[in-house]
Amino acid sequence: MLAIGYYIGGEAMSILPLASLPVGREATVRYVSPDAPSYRRILDLGLVGGTKVKVIRSSPFGDPRAYLVRGAVVALRREDAQAIMVEVTDE
């Protein structure tokens, strides 16, 4: 798993793939890889830089997962969620 850590104003921040977040965690989209299998669909769903996203449910086998994006629930396969890099603030 790719994770990048840094500090802003003494607060620890990390950037990692959306697929790595546990259910119930919220993060902010920072980057979507243009090499993603469903790049256009991801952008059309509103998953662009600065968008808040929350993992709300996982299927029994973990794929796909449901995310809350701009008030709508969307399902993404792990393959697509791996291409979405999000920023998480340590709580």
Residue with tokens 């990390």: 14
Q: What is the pLDDT of residues 25-84, one digit of tens each?
A: 999 999 999 998 899 999 999 999 999 999 999 988 878 999 999 999 999 999 999 999
Q: Tell me the Cα Rg of the chain.
A: 12
Least confident interval from 1-5, 81-85, 86-90: 1-5
CB neighbours of residue 64 within 10 Å: 17
Domain housing 81 = 4-89
> pTM for the full model?
0.82
The domain that contains 42 carries what CATH number? 2.30.30.90
What per-residue confidence (pLDDT) applies to 5? Answer: 52
Sign of CA dihedral 44, 25, 77, 31: positive
Query: In this structure, are residues 86 and 29 in contact, taking their beta carbons and an 8 Å threshold?
Result: yes
Model confidence band, residue 12 (pLDDT cutoffs 50, 70, 90): low
Q: What is the mean pLDDT of residues 4-28?
A: 77
CB-count burial class (<10 Å; 0-12, 13-18, 19+) for 22: exposed
The whole-angstrom separation of Cα 81 and Cα 32 is 9
User: When comparing pLDDT for 6 and 43, which is higher?
Assistant: 43
How many domains does the chain divide into?
Answer: 1
Reply yes or no on whether the pLDDT at 3 is more than 60: no
What per-residue confidence (pLDDT) applies to 90? Answer: 59
